[in-house]
Amino acid sequence: MARAPHVIGVDGGSVDPGPYYLGAGVPFCSVMAIRRDLRLMLRAAIAARIPLMIGTSGGAGGAPHLELTARLVREIAAEEGLHFRLALIEAEPPRVELQRRLAAGRIRPLGKQPPLTAEALDRASRVVGMMGPEPFMEALDNGAQVILAGRASDPAPWAAAAIRAQLPPAPAWYAGKMLECGATPSIPKGHDCLLVTVREDGVECEPMNPIRRCTPLSIANHSLHENSSPIHHIEPGGMLDTSDCRFDALSDRAVRISGMRWTPASQYTVKLEGVEFAGHRCISICGTRDPLLIARLPLFLEEVRGIVREKAAAFGVAPESYALIIRTYGLDGVMGAREPVQQVAGHEVGFVIEVIAETPEIAAAVLGIARTNMLHTDFPGRLCREGNMAFPFSPSDIPVGPVYRFSIHHVLELDNPCEIFPITYEEI
């Protein structure tokens, strides 16, 4: 804080941890960790009289995520005696509103997604819109000092601050790209703060932890992060073109990036993200140290699958009503069907046995059969007649809860960048 930043920003989430957190409405990070980080930032921002802006609050940016983050901020403010104007920007539009826009032809698929249907929109467990910087700018214009937003484009909070300070959009968006993962553009990679200075013609990055350094390689590496193209970055309202960027070391720990360009889009769009329920999961973890079993693993697993099919059918569960997946660590647990190595090289093999079914009861019942038969199914030459598998836990069967899948990955055309992101204000 001695470097007197003009804003503290956070990208609080991502689709990266998968569809569950958006679907279930729960945070990816623990409440203890979120509370700790919020307290540090609130104290610092209020003392320095600067804004604190958080995009994609609570990990996925849906209504429950925003409400959780707001509750923690109110509690911390009361404990610390902090006072400020709080803005909450919602990003989970009412479903009827999205249906109306779908019917008006304003929702288009992204990539190879099929066109969105009214049924898929209804079926979704939760749908969020990914806001750009404009709702943050509106909240700042209305005097908010702490801004908690639902789903937002990762760079949006910082782009908002820089654009509102009359800086051009290209370095403003680029600054956000560098800041969205904290100190990640530095080495050694770690999880703390990055200071970015935005200028008319470029940005300067420097990690605040003295053990880290930004180098042209560490910055170049981060510039490739999580984008399908390294040169064309589509954002709400335009495209950041980084084809002619230069990465120049300013010192042994700070880098200047210049040459980025911004091309405004003719139509303002925001991404819609939605997930739908896909069943309930139950898993069991075990491993084998038996070389005779490892030598005939594919046959053994096929036999177990056959027995599960037969026994589940015997209590009325048809094969098409569940998915049984036996993940084999030591063979292809990491790459699945893309694994080029087809032989186990190690002396032990780990398994995650997984069943997904419509109800938790069916998932647990089918998993129980699979677990028993992984443990006890005979095979030719078997010496380990008391059991094939080592189970590390009792209970061995773990209900994991609901499973979701990404079902909406589309863009919505907007006439006003703020129109589906209502803002409410509170005096804290």
Partner 1 sequence: MPSIRELARICKSKNAGPFDLTIDIVFDDTALYQKVRASGVITEALFARLYGVSADDVLLTPYDAAMAIKATFPRLVPAGGIGDTDVYGCQQHAPLLDVEIPV
**Residues interacting with partner 1, by CB under 8 A?**
15-20, 110-113, 217, 220-221, 223-231, 242-247, 259, 278-279, 323, 325, 327, 332-338, 340, 356, 403-406, 409
Task: For residue 59, give Cα distances in angstroms to 100, 119, 184, 369, 409.
Answer: 28, 27, 18, 36, 18
Minimum distance between the CB of residue 354 and partner 1, rounded to whole angstroms?
A: 9
CA-CA distance, 81 to 42, in Å (whole number)?
11
- We find the least distance from the C-beta atom of residue 245 to partner 1, in angstroms, to be 5
Residue with tokens 């050694």: 188
Question: Residue 264 CB, nearest distance to partner 1 (Å)?
Answer: 22
Name 425's bridge partners.
87
- Give burial (CB, 10 Å; 0-12/13-18/19+) of 327: middle
Contacts of 316 (CB under 8 A, 6+ apart): none
CB of 33 to partner 1, least distance (A): 19
- Nearest approach in angstroms of CB 192 to partner 1 is 21
State in angstroms the smallest separation of the CB of 207 from partner 1. Answer: 18
The C-alpha angle with vertex 267 and arms to 108 and 122, in degrees rounded to 5, equals: 30
Nearer to partner 1, 57 or 242 (CB): 242
What are the residues whose beta carbons fall under 8 Å from the beta carbon of 216, sequence distance 6 or more?
Answer: 247, 248, 249, 255
Contact 157, 147 (CB under 8 A): yes
Minimum CB distance to partner 1 smaller for 97 or for 244: 244
Residue 176 or 279: the one with the smaller Cβ distance to partner 1 is: 279
Nearer to partner 1, 312 or 375 (CB): 312
Residue number, 39 or 233, with CB nearest to partner 1: 233
- In three state form, how does the secondary structure of 150-187 look? CCECCCHHHHHHHHHCCCCHHHHHHHHHHHCCCCCCCE
- H/E stretch holding 322 reads strand 322-329
3 or 338: whose CB is closer to partner 1?
Answer: 338
Min CB(337)–partner 1 separation in Å: 6
**Residues 134, 160 contacting (CB under 8 angstroms):** yes
C-alpha R_g of the chain: 25
Q: Which is nearer to partner 1, 22 or 38 (CB)?
A: 22
